[in-house]
Amino acid sequence: MIDKVHVLKDQILQLENEITVTSQHLEAILLGLPNLPFDDVPIGSDESSNIEIEAKRYGKINDKKTAEHFEIDTVEGMMDFETASRVSGSRFVYLKGQLALLERALGQFMLDTHTTQNGYTEIAPPLIVNNSSMLGTAQLPKFEEDQFQVIVRDNDLADHNNRKWLIPTAEVSLTNIVREKITDKADLPLRFVALTSCFRAEAGAAGRDTRGMIRQHQFQKVELVSITEPELSEVEHNRMLECAEAILKLLELPYRVMLLSSGDMGFSAQKTYDLEVWMPGQQTYREISSISNCGDFQARRMMARYRDGNKNKKYLHTLNGSGVAVGRALIAILENYQTPDGIQVPDVLKKYMNNLSTIKI
């Protein structure tokens, strides 16, 4: 009898181990599945199936090719890639003098607009987050190679659950505010805004945009995050889009709005609008903001719920978008506002730049 008990005990342990392995394998599969697009999202494999929302096109484009931002004589010496490459490597830059002031002015202007006019609460979030936070917003595990991991000790490499990461976007820090929490319906919607540095390894971008500031490992971005009940997330999505559009209108930068196809959307998104600003130096539109409704996709991973009027617990909907990318806004200003005398400063930025009207060498 004792021998049989030992045999059964061993069999139970073996089965428990098999269940653990199978559960981990299943979880890995589930974490690798993307969100499902809304019914009104165009079906397609890539950006060629994106649809322009023509009614939202703004501004008159300059169809005469100008110098690209890194070729403009006025900014020579104020945009230093050579020193940055020596100090940090490729895809970094030193901004100096009036260009550094312009970058700071853009960030302050965007924050002021979103907090005073658009109803967002400013947050100064952590720039380093843990593994659970990256899993919650779905940067992990699928996009691990695009992230910068923070290694404090050698065993950080082995301790999978205790890993730390530099944020690729403030979306991670802001959205995880509601992770493993139950929010009262009366407190919704939650609207957060943050200006942070963002860090991306850009592992999949080899050979693309190798010159200039378009694609950097470190960049400034103003991020908008909204947390809503499911019934109002579509309304909130359109509102967030208008908040980001307002920034470009105030800067008087020509742009268009694209509804992304299923094959061009982000992993977490159910529906995404891209704001694309006109770059006369490249004679093309370039993305400056993506505004996404993630539905309850992130909330399920984060166990982020709210209590409705009947005290039932339901998953929240999360939305995020750039409001907007500071570096690309700076590039767009350099290319759209260049004159023989220098770079004109947009009117809304002058009060942030000591009433400077023109950037000169």
Structure tokens at 141: 């595990």
The pair phi, psi for residue 183, each rounded to 5°, is: -100, 140
- For the chain, list the strands marked E by DSSP: 51-52, 79-80, 94-95, 121-122, 128-130, 149-150, 164-166, 182-184, 190-199, 218-228, 255-259, 271-279, 284-293, 305-307, 313-315, 317-325, 338-339, 342-344, 358-359
Question: Is there a contact between 291 and 244 (Cβ–Cβ < 8 Å)?
Answer: yes
Catalytic positions: 200, 215, 287, 290, 328
Instruction: Tell me if the bond preceding 189 is cis, omega within 30° of 0.
Output: yes
d(CA 159, CA 257): 43
Inter-residue contact 331 to 212 (CB < 8 Å): yes
**How far apart, in whole angstroms, are the C-alpha atoms of residue 130 and residue 172?**
10
Tell me 310's DSSP state: T
Per DSSP, 134 falls in state H
Answer for the pair 141, 135: CB distance below 8 angstroms, yes or no: yes
